[in-house]
Amino acid sequence: MEPLVTRLRDVPANVLSDFLRPRGLQLSVVAEAADIPGSYWGSPEAGIIGEMLYARPDTPIHSVLHTACHWICMDSERRATLHTNAGGDDAEEVAVCYLQCLLADELPGYNRNRAFTDMDLWGYHFRLGSARRWFEEDAEDAREWLLARRLIAA
C-alpha cells in the first residue's frame, strides 16, 4: 500500500503552476500511468528537463517541491544542461530539503507541517529521526548554505 502522502491530484494544477512560474519553472502533468520524463528515481517521483518540471496525478507534492528546489538552488550554467539528474553535493542536497520545507508554507493548500509528515511517510531519513526535528534542531548547515547564496533572508 502506498503511503498516504499529499499528491498532485490533491492540489489544483493551476495552484502548482502559479507557484512554479515565478521561480522560472513550468509544470507539465502527464497521464496517471505514463512514465515521468526526467524523473531521477522513476515514477511517481517528479522529473525535470530544462525548465520543465514533470509530474503526474500520483506524484507526491513533496517531490514536486524537492525538484523545484533543486532548480532554485542551482546556477544558470547547470540549469542550461539540466536533464534528470540535478547533481550538486551533499551540502546542496540538505539545503534543497530545507528550502522545500520553507516553501511548503507558500503553496496554497499545503504547509510545512504537512511537508514534514509527507517526508516522514515517504521515508526521508534524518539523523534525529524526523523531518521536523531535523529542520528545527539540526539544519543550521542547510540554512547557512541558503543564506550564503541569498536564496533566503536572514
Q: What is the pLDDT of residues 34-88, one digit of tens each?
A: 999 999 999 999 999 999 999 999 999 999 999 999 999 999 999 999 999 999 9
Name the grid cell of 84: 534528470
How many whole angstroms separate alpha carbon 77 and alpha carbon 98?
23
What pLDDT is attached to residue 114?
96
For the chain, the domains span 8-148
Alpha helix (H) residue ranges in the chain: 13-20, 61-73, 76-80, 90-104, 112-122, 131-137, 140-148
What pLDDT is attached to residue 80?
94
What pLDDT is attached to residue 3?
59
pLDDT value at 2 more than 60: no
What pLDDT is attached to residue 123?
84
Q: What is the pLDDT of residues 95-143, one digit of tens each?
A: 999 999 999 999 999 999 999 999 999 888 788 889 999 999 999 999 9
Work out the end-to-end distance of the chain between its first and last CA atoms, rounded to an integer number of angstroms: 41
With cell 521536523, the residue in question is 132
At 1, the pLDDT band (50, 70, 90 cuts) reads very low
